[in-house]
Amino acid sequence: MKEVKNKQILFRGFITGVPKETDMELREGTVGLKIPEGIKGALVKNIYLSCDPYMRGRMRENYDSYIPPFSPGSVLKGFGIGRVVESNDEFFKPGDVVSGFTGWEEYSLIENTEQLKKIEVDEKIPLSYHLGLLGMPGFTAYVGFYEICSPKKGDRVFVSAACGAVGQLVGQLAKLHGCYVVGSAGTKQKVDLLMNKFGFDEAFNYKEEKGLVSTMRRYFPEGIDIYFDNVGGPTLDAALLNMRINGRIAICGMISQHSVSSVEGIHNLSALIPKRVKMQGFLQSDHLHLFPQFLDCVSDLYKQGKIAYLEDMHHGLEIAPKAFVGLFSGQNVGKQVVCVSPE
């Protein structure tokens, strides 16, 4: 059996704060390019790995979550795209391109094949977009906006972390729906992208604003109908004071696990009462019956040039920990992906 090198990123142990690069380490292992006897599955050569904020939740010793924690000492897991090298599962053949949960390594033996999706490669859409625009983050935006926010034409929509993997699509869907859309982000570059690439009506750099309550009042003199919250914290607190009657707040994005639970806390929840605001947490995985409809809709919009998408692509498995850690300080500009081998 042919053995090849297989670099891997290991999870070192449970964390409490924000992830650091030293919470992960590189191991240079090997792998046999054959599925071991007695195992049913697919051996996949990974091409793209996705860095997503929710993964931070799996780094904590919390067995009470909707998804179990990583095992210390084992290979990190996440969404990825790869090519099947060998398979004894009738649904997958060598050469197939698949997406699903894989390991942060060059080759992964995937036994849990029912969660893999075969990708129909379309030369008009970058393959890696199946981790972003057409993957979990894009689906989160789609479900969150249409199913949780009950949007109507003319609604005034605010999106935080608007340049991120989820936010950029929320804003563009809202524009296509006939809404007025304002986004916030943390750099001038991102604000420019929101205005010039993604077609937001307005955008601002929250780090340059003195008081978020009055900033929002400036952009929403009549109040916010829909706030798609990706960050929590002071931005959520300020939005609460700017909601319109019957407003909706979608609480999204695991990046908010940090800031929503911040030391300061949220002080303006009583504003929910006079404004009759509905605030709702959701998980995209509850709505998977809508995935085919989402894929058709968003693929078409992209191919028609009606929506844009921005990725932040890093190259090489070694850089994956740095790319992941960067999510929590907004280093990424767009959806963070790591390319670990050529397509």
Nearest distance in Å: CB 263, a second copy: 8
Nearest to 219 by CA among 199, 239, 197: 239
Rounded Cα–Cα distance for residues 108 and 104 (Å): 8
223: left (phi over 0), alpha (psi -120 to 50) or beta: left
268 binds a second copy (CB under 8 A): yes
**Count of positions (residues) in the chain:** 343
288 binds a second copy (CB under 8 A): no
214 binds a second copy (CB under 8 A): no
Q: Which stretch binds a second copy (CB under 8 A): 110-118, 149-157, 191-199, 253-261?
A: 253-261
265 binds a second copy (CB under 8 A): yes
Nearest distance in Å: CB 213, a second copy: 12
65 binds a second copy (CB under 8 A): yes
Q: Which stretch binds a second copy (CB under 8 A): 160-168, 191-199, 205-213, 278-286?
A: 278-286
Closer residue to a second copy (CB): 147 or 202: 147
DSSP string, 23-75: GEEEEEEEEESSPPTT--SEEEEEEEEE--TTHHHHTS--TTSSSPPPPTTSB
Exposure on the CB side of residue 231, measured as CA atoms within 13 A: 25
Element of type H or E holding 205: strand 202-205
Q: Which of 146, 206, 282, 328 binds a second copy (CB under 8 A)?
A: 282
Closer residue to a second copy (CB): 1 or 263: 263
Pair type for strands 180-185 and 202-205? parallel
Q: Which of 47, 119, 203, 254 binds a second copy (CB under 8 A)?
A: 254
Query: Which residues make up the interface to a second copy (CB under 8 A)?
Result: 65-66, 232, 236, 251-254, 256-257, 260-283, 286
